[in-house]
């Protein structure tokens, strides 16, 4: 009964594991605190100034006791470390192949959510119950931290770098979303709600384009990326065999040979940097003539372009861009309130 009460807010697949680790660490802290304080009190009374206890043969050490204590503490410490490291490595590692990818952009002072099918939400995130979800996060300006206490999910959102975290929602309901990293004057207003729905309700929500939420249905990320690709004239060099720029067909996750003699894998971070700072990585056989888009595109538009370039590959690899560093993007217009 007590366990059910303590774990009442565990609403994701990993939450109970992290709760267990928290309570074990708390219990160990209480145990050793009480033990040390008790020994201090006992020794203070036993060896007080008025005590007649024999002090002529002080004990300087006890080898067996020392090795016993060191061994015990080492086993406990390493045991807790490996026990807690496993779920930590899992939640920040590669997600299941069927995980639904959702893109999160942090900006002062709001959360912008992009679903691959085109649904976009502000300070709100709708998820289906029981399906793995991978969040791919990046910041438009300063460091933020995506935190959903009920899910025990917290991930730093860093400018210029993709990070990710995955989980499986296990309870239906609305759960608070916070920014857990101070990010400026209106940090306290950077909040929102995560709504977990039954699969059939989520399917209806998607079919309606998120119309009964704070979201709005637009073109898919691939379609939006293609429109940007044409709008900014990328098609004039990359769309035909002019020899001025490399082909984007099957580029994603391929090996690219660079003019500086190194090679790179064309993952999300590489493509992002190639768009915003194209002179950093110049493929062999081409000149650094591509325009710099660092101050022309926001992070949402870059994600759309990456989605379109991915669609040009014949194979779709479940590759996560998490922890792939690239240069910092240009900042979007900063707002004091929450705008769509």
Give the tens place of pLDDT for each residue, 154-172: 999 999 999 999 999 999 9
pLDDT in tens, 180-205: 999 999 999 999 999 999 999 998 88
State residue 173's pLDDT score. Answer: 92
Q: How many C-beta atoms surround the C-beta of residue 298 within 10 A?
A: 18
Reported as a single tens digit per residue, the pLDDT across 195-247 is 999 999 998 888 887 754 444 446 788 988 899 998 888 888 887 666 788 88
CATH superfamily of 221-321: Cytochrome c-like domain (1.10.760.10)
Q: What residues does each domain of the chain span?
A: 13-45+62-91, 100-217, 221-321
Question: In the structure encoding, which two tokens stand for residue 48, read together?
Answer: 């007080």
Percent of the chain residues topping a pLDDT of 90:
43
Q: Of 192, 201, 213, 190, give the one whose Cα is nearest residue 119.
A: 213
CA dist 211 → 138, 192, 196, 215, 216 (Å): 26, 17, 16, 6, 6
Token digits for 36? 């040390």
Instruction: Report the candidate in 196, 212, 312 with the shortest Cα–Cα distance to residue 252.
Output: 312
Q: Say if CB 188 and CB 109 are below 8 A apart.
A: no
Question: DSSP readout, 209-250?
Answer: TTTTTT-EE-S-HHHHHHHHHHHTTTHHHHTTT-SSS---TT
Does residue 61 surpass a pLDDT of 50?
Answer: yes
Q: Of 3-7, 95-99, 223-227, 241-245, which range is least confident? A: 3-7
Let me know if 40 is exposed, middle or buried by CB neighbors in 10 A (0-12, 13-18, 19+).
exposed
Q: What is the pLDDT of residue 331?
A: 35
Percent of the chain with pLDDT over 70: 86
Q: What are the pLDDT digits (tens) for 144-155?
A: 999 999 998 999
The residues near 153 (Cβ < 8 Å, ≥ 6 apart) are 12, 14, 91, 146, 147, 165, 167
Residue 319 has pLDDT above 50, yes or no: no
Q: Which residue spans within 75-171 are E strands per DSSP?
A: 100-107, 110-114, 119-122, 124-128, 133-139, 144-148, 153-157, 161-167
Say if CB 154 and CB 88 are below 8 A apart. Answer: no
pTM for this predicted structure: 0.76
- For residue 240, the model assigns a pLDDT of 65
CATH topology of domain 100-217: Immunoglobulin-like (2.60.40)
Tokens of 67: 């090795």
Q: What per-residue confidence (pLDDT) applies to 327?
A: 37
Separation CA 321–CA 76 (nearest Å): 35
| Gyration radius from the chain CA atoms | 27
């Amino acid at each position: 009964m007590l366990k059910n009460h303590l774990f009442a807010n565990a609403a994701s697949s990993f939450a109970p594991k992290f709760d267990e680790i928290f309570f074990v660490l708390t219990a160990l802290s209480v145990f050793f605190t009480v033990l040390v304080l008790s020994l201090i009190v006992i020794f203070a009374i036993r060896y007080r100034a008025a005590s007649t206890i024999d002090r002529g043969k002080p004990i300087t050490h006890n080898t067996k006791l020392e090795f016993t204590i060191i061994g015990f503490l080492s086993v406990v410490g390493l045991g807790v470390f490996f026990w807690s490291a496993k779920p930590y490595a899992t939640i920040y590692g590669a997600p299941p192949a069927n995980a639904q990818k959702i893109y999160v952009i942090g900006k002062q002072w709001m959360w912008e959510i992009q679903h691959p099918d085109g649904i976009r939400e502000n300070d709100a995130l709708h998820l289906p119950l029981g399906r793995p979800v991978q969040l791919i996060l990046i910041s438009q300006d300063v460091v933020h931290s995506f935190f959903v206490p009920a899910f025990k999910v917290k991930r730093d959102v860093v400018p210029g770098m993709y990070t990710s975290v995955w989980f499986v929602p296990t309870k239906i309901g609305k759960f608070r979303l916070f920014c857990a990293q101070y990010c400026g004057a209106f940090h306290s207003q950077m909040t929102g709600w995560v709504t977990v729905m039954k699969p059939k309700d989520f399917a209806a929500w998607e079919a309606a384009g998120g119309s009964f939420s704070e979201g709005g249905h637009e073109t898919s990320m691939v379609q939006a990326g293609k429109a940007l690709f044409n709008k900014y004239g990328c098609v004039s060099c990359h769309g035909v065999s002019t020899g001025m720029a490399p082909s984007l067909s099957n580029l994603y996750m391929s090996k690219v040979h660079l003019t500086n003699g190194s090679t790179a894998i064309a993952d999300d971070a590489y493509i992002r940097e190639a768009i915003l700072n194209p002179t950093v990585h110049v493929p062999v056989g081409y000149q650094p003539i591509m325009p710099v888009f660092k101050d022309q595109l926001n992070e949402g538009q870059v994600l759309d372009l990456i989605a379109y370039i991915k669609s040009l590959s014949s194979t779709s690899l479940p590759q996560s861009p998490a922890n792939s560093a690239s240069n910092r993007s240009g900042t979007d217009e900063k707002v004091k309130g929450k705008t769509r």
